[in-house]
Chains A and B, each alone.
Chain A
Amino acid sequence: MKSITLFILLCLPICLLCQPYYVISVKGKVSIDGVPLQKKDKLTTTAQIYFSSSEAVVFVVSPGKGYYYLSPQKVKKENTNEFFLSLKEALIPTKQFRATSTRVAYKEKALYFEDLYDMMGFFKDRVLLFDDGIYLLDREEITLDSLHWFELEYQNGNKDYLKVMPSKKDSLFIPHQWFVESGPITGTVHATLFYVDKQDNRRKKIGQFLLSVESANSIKEELEALREIKEITDDQLFFNEQALPYLQQYYGNVDAARVWELVNREKK
């Protein structure tokens, strides 16, 4: 493997002395002094960056100056002359496909969190869990490995429980089995979700909420009863106008995709 060395002369030009650079992402194998470069690493003024291949790239940010990418490869300059781009757009306009309808519900996709702030927006106030909770995460933004995980702390009766949430690929789970094992839960329990970062020795509170744990069957029965009262046969209509608002009002934040699975009669 050809080693390509790139020296960043941070110590020479005076203006660069004042500018720190933090690593956002690394593509390929890149190291400093033999240590592989990680996200959030700070590049020092005497950094010697080693790129293992010409395709390796480091994407960095300087808080005062902006985003940059460092690569041993000469990057092809794209033609960004606005006049010619506008002329091209005027003569050969780009075609776009536009929908004449709006998406009103998440039908197929499970709950997806892009970052911790997304999770904070969901795991707060009140949350409903029926059967296993399955949550998709953007692994680029939320690290999950042996040094990073989520913990759920909750109280049932007089006892406190602390469980590590299992994860697989892009998914995070809250197993319904936990609450069966710890004793039947009636009503709601106080719960707190934490994000543990062992690397930086931090435990970040994501949210404190009232957790309602129900079985899928009981929620399904409740929704069927509601449907009979409202006399709505259309699944989508019932889902948008009755089922989801009803659960959100009486139980709190809920995974809409799982609610759709209960409501959708067509697939049965």
Chain B
Amino acid sequence: MPWKKRLRIFFLAILHAVFMLGLTFYWLSLPYSFGDETFLIKWTSLVKKSLIGIDPKPDPERFLFVDVSKTKTTIDGPNAFGEPSPYYREVITDRQHLAELLRMIVDYGADSPLVFCDVLFADETPADSLLQAQIDRLGKKILGVGHLQEGTQLLTPQLSMPYALSTYQASQGIFLKYPLLLADSLKTAPVVLVEQLHQKIFRKNGIFYRLDGKLSFPSPIIDFKIRSSDFKESNDPSLPQFTIYDLGFVLESEDYMEEQDLEAFFRNKVIFIGDFKEDIHQTPFGKMAGSLIVCNAYLTLLEGENIISFWWMFFMIISFTIISYRILTEQKVKHPRWLVKLFQSKFGQILLNALDEVFFLTIMTVLSYFLFNIHINILILLIYVKMVEYLWKNWRSFPIWNWRPGNILRKKKIKLQ
């Protein structure tokens, strides 16, 4: 191939790579993920964290997890007429017990930076005044949650307290991404946690999201640093453990523990209060409590794994340029005969032709994850790449000024003849 033509194709490949990068940004910015991603994300993460051992954990002593699953009560629920009825019982978290916990935090946890209460106070109950009094004492040190139902209806807490959204979108019922912003302007809980605890500023300028001035994905795929398997009892008292304490246990401890020991419960800890038994979500790492998901999302933002770095973009441009160049020069890997014999049907041949791109894209996403902690959507990229390949093969020889429907049909007729 003459060098001028090669140079033209090379520049075209770079242009196409930039376009592919734009498409990748778009797909990565969607608040939900595609089905194929779960499998790849799960196994690449397991290889990195479990097999290779690259699995940095946050300090367990930074967090206190309190489980309210055993602290329930019931209230009258609405009947068919929308009126509260004693025949319709709704189970909610006992707010009186919650108020006692907050009172303990005020009394013994003066240096706790923040209490995240992942309990939606959607209904009014008789114990609200008790709970409100304790919330008022905590002031800005407490963060509650709201919920965006069906993407439009905002459910806010009945109590007066700062809150952030704890909502995400899932495809096939599996959690992967936590959107930073919902409905264009409502910040989600992980963002507010990072803002309040570390004084980082989150902004949206048009289509660009920035955290602390750096470009960010709008819906980053969460890195699960703390997983259900991390919560266990140990026989080595010198090592701190991730632990979930029942709310009742914490409340009862006031009966027998000394004051300085009670202070140790809360000292310098970010407190996550939630239902660790019922508020369960499916993730690539199995079932996980909602509060733990928020904690992991917060840690993902804290570690900057949502940031779009220059080197990641450079890596993607190079990779897409290679893929584009191969498409434009119609390079193909020579498949072994036995493989060609295996895929003799038309569908089989399509699959065989796709193997090269599958291989390259898989290597790309694995490297992207291992080096930059960013997963990319390879199935949709593969579909796009094959479409481009098809169009390039069938349309490039036809000069653009001759592209009229009649001429195209004539060309097909000539080919058939």
Contacts and interface: CB of A to CB of B under 8 A. Distances in A.
The answer to whether A and B belong to the same complex is yes
B49 to A, nearest CB: 7
Interface stretch (B129-137, B181-189, B234-242): B234-242
Contacts of A224: none
Contacts of A121: 72-73, 94
Contact of A21 (B71, B237, B243): B237
Contact of B255 (A19, A67, A202): A202
A67 B46 CA distance: 26
B278 to A, nearest CB: 15
Contact of B256 (A66, A84, A114, A200): A200
A117 B267 contact: no
A187 interface: no
Given A82-B46, A249-B86, A66 B243 contact: yes
Interface in B215-274: 227, 229, 232-238, 240-243, 248, 251-253, 255-258, 260-262, 264-265, 267
B70 A16 contact: no
A117 B250 CA distance: 12
> Which of B94, B227, B235, B252 has its CB near the most chain A CB atoms (within 10 A)?
B235
Given A20-B264, A121-B73, A66 B60 contact: yes
Contacts of B257: 20, 22, 42, 63
A82 B243 CA distance: 19
A66 B50 contact: no
B359 to A, nearest CB: 22
Contact of A66 (B47, B242, B285): B242
B176 to A, nearest CB: 16
A42 B258 contact: yes
A84 to B, nearest CB: 8
A164 B257 CA distance: 28
A42 B252 CA distance: 15
A82 B261 contact: no
A118 to B, nearest CB: 8
A16 B229 contact: no
B285 to A, nearest CB: 7
A83 B241 contact: no
Given A19-B237, A40-B256, A65-B241, A83 B51 contact: yes
Interface in A63-107: 63-71, 75, 80-84, 86
A245 interface: yes
A66 B248 contact: no
A63 B262 contact: yes
Contacts of A59: 233
B97 interface: yes
A182 interface: no
Nearest to A70: B235
Interface residues on A, range: 35 or more
B238 A75 contact: no
A19 B248 CA distance: 21
Interface residues on B, range: 35 or more
A202 B51 CA distance: 53
A69 B267 contact: no
Contacts of A69: 233-235
A235 B75 CA distance: 26
A114 B71 CA distance: 11
A52 to B, nearest CB: 18
A64 B229 contact: no
A68 B262 CA distance: 18
A62 interface: yes
Contacts of A19: 237, 264
Interface in A25-80: 40, 42, 59-60, 62-71, 75, 80
A92 to B, nearest CB: 16
B264 A16 contact: no
B356 interface: no
Nearest to B228: A82
Interface in A191-225: 200, 202, 204
A70 B70 contact: no
A115 B94 CA distance: 15
Contacts of B260: 20
B248 A82 contact: no
B61 interface: yes
Q: Which 9 A-B pairs have the closest CB atoms?
A: A66-B241, A83-B50, A66-B243, A64-B264, A63-B265, A65-B240, A82-B50, A40-B256, A63-B264
Interface of A: 8, 13, 15-16, 18-22, 40, 42, 59-60, 62-71, 75, 80-84, 86, 114-117, 121, 200, 202, 204, 245, 248-249
Given A66-B242, A117-B97, 16 more contacts: A20-B261, A62-B264, A66-B240, A66-B241, A69-B233, A71-B235, A80-B229, A81-B51, A82-B46, A82-B50, A83-B51, A86-B42, A115-B252, A117-B70, A121-B73, A200-B256
